[in-house]
Amino acid sequence: MQVLHGIGILSLVWSWPACQNARIADLPSVDDLGAPRGGALARVLLHLHSPFSWDACDQKPELDRGECRQNLLDALCENRIDLAFLTDHPDRMASTPIEDLTLRGPDVDLVSDSNSGLLLGEVSSCRNTHRSWIAPGLEGTVMGLGMSIHLDSADQTGREELYSQSSAEWAQRLQSEAGALAWMPHPESKSAQFIHDSGVQGLESFNLHALLDPEIRHSSLRLAPLDSLFGVLGFAFDPFFDLNSDSMFLHFLQAPARFIERWNEVIELRNSLGESMNFPAWGASDSHEYLFPQTGSDGRRLDVHARMTRLVVNHVWVTERTPSSIRQAIQEGSGWLVFESLGSPVGMDFSLQSTTQGQTYGPGQTLEVPAEQSIPGLGLTLTVTLPRVYRESTQREGRAEAPRLRVRVFHLSPGQTTEVVLQEAWDESVSETITLPGTYRAEVSMIPRHLRGVAAPYSERALLEFPWIQTNRIEVREASSLPGVMRTRRRR
């Protein structure tokens, strides 16, 4: 994607000796974050770049002496990522054997998952003994998540061209021939019609690269182009090396409305065509290691993968933590994205209970109302279980103040592209009776008062409200809502 043109001034590296401010601790195991609905959580990254992308590693990946690769592995270990879907650009990726795109090496074993057909690198070198899977993939106009083979082309140039296209036929080939999920990156700069017609199975509901890039901010997100860079500037030129680099995000993190607007537009387009309104979206860091090469007070570059990938992580709900289950959950939209630099959520859940059916539905699932029944007759209650912040997320001396949490539930009706807030509460779980068709999703935002010490001397930043969790959707669909249209039933 576009290079950060406005960043030139930041590239003057300030070379004072670092006083090695302590880093934030490794993220906790997902086993410590709860087991909603009797299942388990998995941490998943999608859309990030290895040294096999031209714009990774300060745009000189060919000069990487292993540091850029190692930083990526460290990020997977420290953030305890279960599965990372790499998305490399075609220029280098298309000419690299697919096995090498798993980053295989002495510290990464090449494995093949028989259930999912996924070709994986398994990171076996984490200091904290975590094991992380890496799935190779592609970012052209469309992303291919988890490719098990390269697709054929007569020559190298042909393959690069092949990988850069977008069409429903191409998305289908990515799925049926390469075994990948076809996903839309950077939806902020594409129309709903384009996204729909490209045949992808889902999109991004947040992209960190877009939030930081002045050009994308200006042209697609309707945000002041340089505001995020102003926030980073203080950390890039930190003369006393006493700012905590891991608090940098408090100066720019926000969830631009454009992402959700685009998601809603695609959903309504699908609805108008008789397709399911349940269309999954996940968060993406799109981490490259070329935005902010300056060294932070922890001795690491400001945009080191560990810092950037932690900012937006996907918590995926699975019945078992295997590559095939995780892949299936990504495809269905089972789970939520978490801005985990703010802290790890413990006990989070979003679900829909039907008393008459005796069933519970989670994000990514669709309740199809039987033809002979009405929605009120199903006794539907939507619940957001308020999470708490994992205790180590504060990890500062003394007792930290508790963060404040705002829970909101949004409803998107068939025929609409604008959601309404159905329910809202501070610092408590919410339940709401459901009587209307459409999709429902939840957000939890946070005033991270527990980070006041970390944020010093900008402690007032910790008194602002930040996005923390955004769920995928639960759909309630009436039989009569799609007259005369063949309906594709969702499994589960």
Binding site for Zn ion (CB under 5 A): 1, 139, 209, 286
Q: Which is nearer to Zn ion, 208 or 389 (CB)?
A: 208
Strands (E), 38-116: 40-46, 83-85, 108-112
Place of tokens 């608090």: 247
182 pairs with which residues across the strands? Answer: 144
Q: Which phi-psi region, left, alpha or beta, contains residue 20 (left: φ > 0; alpha: ψ -120 to 50)? A: left
Shortest Cβ distance from residue 87 to Zn ion (Å)? 6
Shortest Cβ distance from residue 45 to Zn ion (Å)? 12
Q: Which is nearer to Zn ion, 81 or 400 (CB)?
A: 81
Shortest Cβ distance from residue 285 to Zn ion (Å)? 9
Helix, strand, coil percentages in the chain from 3-state DSSP, rounded to 5:
30, 25, 45
Shortest Cβ distance from residue 138 to Zn ion (Å)? 10
Q: Which is nearer to Zn ion, 255 or 277 (CB)?
A: 255
The H or E element that residue 382 is part of is strand 380-385
Shortest Cβ distance from residue 288 to Zn ion (Å)? 7
Tokens of 2: 């576009």
Q: Which is nearer to Zn ion, 251 or 288 (CB)?
A: 288
Shortest Cβ distance from residue 332 to Zn ion (Å)? 23
Q: Which phi-psi region, left, alpha or beta, contains residue 205 (left: φ > 0; alpha: ψ -120 to 50)? A: alpha
Q: Which is nearer to Zn ion, 283 or 438 (CB)?
A: 283
Buried b (16+ CB within 10 A) or exposed e, 201-214: bbbbbbbbbbbbbb
The H or E element that residue 91 is part of is helix 90-93
Shortest Cβ distance from residue 378 to Zn ion (Å)? 42
Nearest-angstrom CA–CA distance, 403 and 426? 11
Shortest Cβ distance from residue 383 to Zn ion (Å)? 35
Nearest-angstrom CA–CA distance, 223 and 253? 12
Tokens of 47: 């859309």
Shortest Cβ distance from residue 42 to Zn ion (Å)? 22
| Cβ-proximal residues to 128 (8 Å cutoff; 6+ apart), any chain | 26, 77, 78, 80
Shortest Cβ distance from residue 249 to Zn ion (Å)? 17
* Cβ–Cβ under 8 Å, residues 363 and 441: yes
Measure Cα distances from 307 to 326, 340, 481 in Å.
23, 10, 45
Q: Which is nearer to Zn ion, 139 or 188 (CB)?
A: 139
Q: Which is nearer to Zn ion, 1 or 463 (CB)?
A: 1
Nearest-angstrom CA–CA distance, 353 and 382? 6
Q: Which is nearer to Zn ion, 286 or 478 (CB)?
A: 286
Q: Which is nearer to Zn ion, 86 or 409 (CB)?
A: 86
Peptide bond preceding 376 in cis form (omega within 30 of 0) = no
Q: Which is nearer to Zn ion, 186 or 450 (CB)?
A: 186
